[in-house]
Structure 1
Amino acid sequence: MYWLLEVFNCLFDKPKKIRSINNLTQGKFGKIFEPSVTQSTVARWEKGEQNPDRIHFPKIASLLNLSFEEFIEFIEQPISKIEDLNIENKTLTYNERHLSMLKKGARAWNSWRKKNPDVIPQLSGIYLKNGDFDNLDGYNLDYANLAGFRGVFISIQHASLIEANMEKAELTGGSCIGSNFSRANLKKINIQSTRFNRAIFRETNLYKACILDSDFKEVSFEKACMEQIVFDRVDLSGANLKQVDLESAKFTKVQLREANLNQASLKKAFLDTCSVYGSTFLETNLEDIITEKVFISPQGFEGITVQDLALAQFTCLKLYHPLLTQKFVNSYNIEHDFVKYAQLLANRYGRYKYKKKSGSFAFFKYNKINFIDIFVDIEKIDNNLYKIYILKILF
């Protein structure tokens, strides 16, 4: 039997790589088998200390891209042949029985999950769309493998996807309002035109996610990993981004009204045409951040723009909540220059906004502290005359 253990030891170096590719622990990997096996059993398999039972051979074969018959033949092959197996791009495919159960509805599905707590639903690569099967509201999808999942105009509202694997999934035109994605793997997920209002993403991995034209109002991202994430035309009003890692993130035309970014990292992030009225950046890492057209007006994307998020935060407070200013200064040791420049901006320019109906070009953006810029406003009077205002910021 020693030779068989040696063969399985070599074979299980491959599933170990598959387990790593799919971000599964030994315990979770054991649960994809039916019947499931324990973490310690998987560990002994991978060490070559124990042979798998024959009942698990079909699943092992599928993980190695082999038919059952080919797997049996491979057991008798030289180890060098086994080492030639290529599983670099192998991801777990969906279980037809699990998909069939999913389509029976939330009540049947949740009852099945409750009776089978050790089974990890294998639903990777499934494609759900409007008119086919498009409602996952209230489903318990905790720990489910939904890697590569595609959903078009589907509803996943108030569902639980705690620690689910949705790496490289695609969601378009749907609704995930109030769902819980805590500690889930959403690396490289693509989201477009989808609503996530009041959803929960605490400690979720959103590395290199791409989110377009979507609504994330009042969402909690606390302590999430969002390095290199892309937000384009996204509403993050009231979102909790406290202690979130947003290093090298890209924000374009993003509404950050009253968002909490305290103690977050925006190192090397890029913000272009973003509204930060009421947002907080206390103890936020702004190292090497690049900002263009940051708006502080409650009207959103109009009015004066600033280039510095710390200045934007304090100018907004000075302009709209002056009674809180001194308390804010004392509590967070705000630098004197910020107080000075914020007061000037608030007093002279904070109320100006784009006058579309009057034909005004409004004020050109404010560029840098210590830079003497000219702001021009041209307003039409009667039919032929123009009144020109030329002002300077003088420090």
Structure 2
Amino acid sequence: MANEEHLSLLKQGVNSWNQWREDTPTVIPDISGANLNQMNLSEANLSGADLQRVILHGANLTAANLHNATLVNADMSGVELNAADLSNANLSSANLFGAYLSGANLSGADLSDVQLNRSDLSGVNLSGANLSHVNLLGADLSGANLTSTVLSHADLSRAELSRAELKQANLSQANLSEARLMGANLTEATLNEANLSRARLNRADLSDATLVGATLVGATLVGTKLNRAKLSNVDLTGTNLSGANLSSAVLSDANFQDANLSGANLKDAHLENTTLEGADLSQVTMPDGSVHE
């Protein structure tokens, strides 16, 4: 339960609250379990605060400082968190359905098992954050920084990830079906057994990425960089890879049935037991450097 004195101070307004925080820097605010529905907490200093199970539905926390705060099981649906600092915060099992987090800093935050479906996370810094098993269905992550972020088992179906920075991210067994990843940076990312069926990855960079056992049925990878990528046992049935760079990629046991590989670069690629039945190989640079007619 919340400390009644702390809760009373917070309800006096952000200016009074921030002054109290400045005057008592060693006190850890306890607002746990409080009902803060629709409150205006814009620019409030809530760093390190205990906000477990707090109800913040529809509250305004624009540019608020929530660094290192504990928000486990908090109801933050529809909350305004644009430009807020949530770095190193613990938001595990919180509800952020429909939240607005554009430009927020979530680096190092724990967002495991969080509901973020249809949330606005465009331009957000999530580098090094834990988003395993997170629901991001239909979320907007365009231009977001997800470097080294853990997204294993996350639901990113129909999510917008165009131009997102996903270098060295862990997306193993994630659901990225129908996601938009045009121009995204996925170099050295891990996508083992991920579902990328019908995803759009045009001009994305997957150099040195690992996609062992992934599904890319019907995906679009026009002009995509996959050089040195590990794609063994990947299902690429009906995939459009025209103009893609697959040089030195490991494609053993991969299925390219009915795929469009026209103009792709397969120089030095490993094609052991690879299925190419029905694939369009026109103008493909083959592993030996020759160009297929």
The answer for the alignment partner of 1:160 in structure 2 is: 65
The answer for the alignment partner of 2:272 in structure 1 is: none
**1:257 corresponds to 2:257:** no
Instruction: Flag the 1:239–1:116 CA change in 2: closer, same or farther, 3 A.
Output: same
CA shift for structure 1 position 345: 3.5
The TM-score, its normalising length taken from structure 2, stands at 0.74
Amino acid at match of 2:106: F
Aligned residues: 240
The answer for the alignment partner of 2:102 in structure 1 is: 197
Asked whether the equivalents of residues 130 and 149 of structure 2 are also in contact (C-alpha less than 8 Å), the reply is yes
Looking at structure 1, the residues matched to 116 and 229 of structure 2 have their Cα atoms a distance apart, in angstroms, of: 34
Kindly indicate which of the two structures has a greater share of residues assigned to helix: 1
The answer for the alignment partner of 2:256 in structure 1 is: 370
Looking at structure 1, the residues matched to 230 and 135 of structure 2 have their Cα atoms a distance apart, in angstroms, of: 32
CA shift for structure 1 position 194: 1.4
Map 1:83-122 → 2, pairs under 5 A: 93-122=1-30
Looking at structure 2, the residues matched to 209 and 114 of structure 1 have their Cα atoms a distance apart, in angstroms, of: 31
**1:275 corresponds to 2:202:** no
Asked whether the equivalents of residues 79 and 96 of structure 2 are also in contact (C-alpha less than 8 Å), the reply is no
CA shift for structure 1 position 281: 0.9
User: Which of 211, 228, 237 does residue 142 from structure 2 map onto?
Assistant: 237
Asked whether the equivalents of residues 184 and 201 of structure 2 are also in contact (C-alpha less than 8 Å), the reply is no
CA shift for structure 1 position 232: 1.5
Looking at structure 2, the residues matched to 124 and 117 of structure 1 have their Cα atoms a distance apart, in angstroms, of: 19
CA shift for structure 1 position 264: 0.8
Amino acid at match of 1:394: D
CA shift for structure 1 position 292: 2.0
Map 1:59-138 → 2, pairs under 5 A: 93-130=1-38, 134-138=39-43
The TM-score, its normalising length taken from structure 1, stands at 0.56
User: Which of 280, 286, 290 does residue 394 from structure 1 map onto?
Assistant: 280
The answer for the alignment partner of 1:296 in structure 2 is: 201
**1:346 corresponds to 2:242:** yes
Map 1:53-64 → 2, pairs under 5 A: none
C-alpha distance after superposition, 1:198-234 (max 9, x if no partner): 1011111111111122100000111111111111121
Asked whether the equivalents of residues 238 and 256 of structure 1 are also in contact (C-alpha less than 8 Å), the reply is yes
Instruction: Flag the 1:347–1:227 CA change in 2: closer, same or farther, 3 A.
Output: closer
Asked whether the equivalents of residues 208 and 230 of structure 1 are also in contact (C-alpha less than 8 Å), the reply is yes
Amino acid at match of 2:19: S
CA shift for structure 1 position 369: 4.3
Runs of 4+ in 1 over 6 A off after TM superposition: none
CA shift for structure 1 position 373: 6.4
Instruction: Flag the 1:284–1:346 CA change in 2: closer, same or farther, 3 A.
Output: same
The answer for the alignment partner of 1:169 in structure 2 is: 74
Amino acid at match of 1:235: D
Structure 1 residue matching 2:101: 3-state secondary structure = coil
Looking at structure 1, the residues matched to 229 and 131 of structure 2 have their Cα atoms a distance apart, in angstroms, of: 28
Instruction: Flag the 1:295–1:307 CA change in 2: closer, same or farther, 3 A.
Output: farther
Looking at structure 2, the residues matched to 223 and 214 of structure 1 have their Cα atoms a distance apart, in angstroms, of: 19
CA shift for structure 1 position 346: 3.3
In percent, how many aligned pairs have the same letter?
Answer: 26
CA shift for structure 1 position 193: 1.5
Looking at structure 1, the residues matched to 172 and 9 of structure 2 have their Cα atoms a distance apart, in angstroms, of: 45
CA shift for structure 1 position 335: 7.9
Kindly indicate which of the two structures has a greater share of residues assigned to strand: 1
The answer for the alignment partner of 2:289 in structure 1 is: none
* Larger RCO of the pair (alpha carbons < 8 Å, separation 6+): 2
Instruction: Flag the 1:347–1:206 CA change in 2: closer, same or farther, 3 A.
Output: closer
CA shift for structure 1 position 394: 2.4
Unaligned runs of 5+ in 2: 204-213, 245-253, 261-277, 282-293
CA shift for structure 1 position 347: 5.9
Structure 2 residue matching 1:164: 3-state secondary structure = coil
Looking at structure 1, the residues matched to 172 and 140 of structure 2 have their Cα atoms a distance apart, in angstroms, of: 21
Asked whether the equivalents of residues 170 and 189 of structure 1 are also in contact (C-alpha less than 8 Å), the reply is yes
Asked whether the equivalents of residues 293 and 307 of structure 1 are also in contact (C-alpha less than 8 Å), the reply is no
CA shift for structure 1 position 291: 2.2
Looking at structure 2, the residues matched to 150 and 230 of structure 1 have their Cα atoms a distance apart, in angstroms, of: 20
Looking at structure 2, the residues matched to 394 and 119 of structure 1 have their Cα atoms a distance apart, in angstroms, of: 67
Asked whether the equivalents of residues 294 and 307 of structure 1 are also in contact (C-alpha less than 8 Å), the reply is no
Structure 2 residue matching 1:275: 3-state secondary structure = coil
CA shift for structure 1 position 285: 1.1
Amino acid at match of 1:256: L
The answer for the alignment partner of 2:53 in structure 1 is: 148
Map 1:308-319 → 2, pairs under 5 A: 308=216, 315-316=221-222, 318=223
CA shift for structure 1 position 372: 2.2
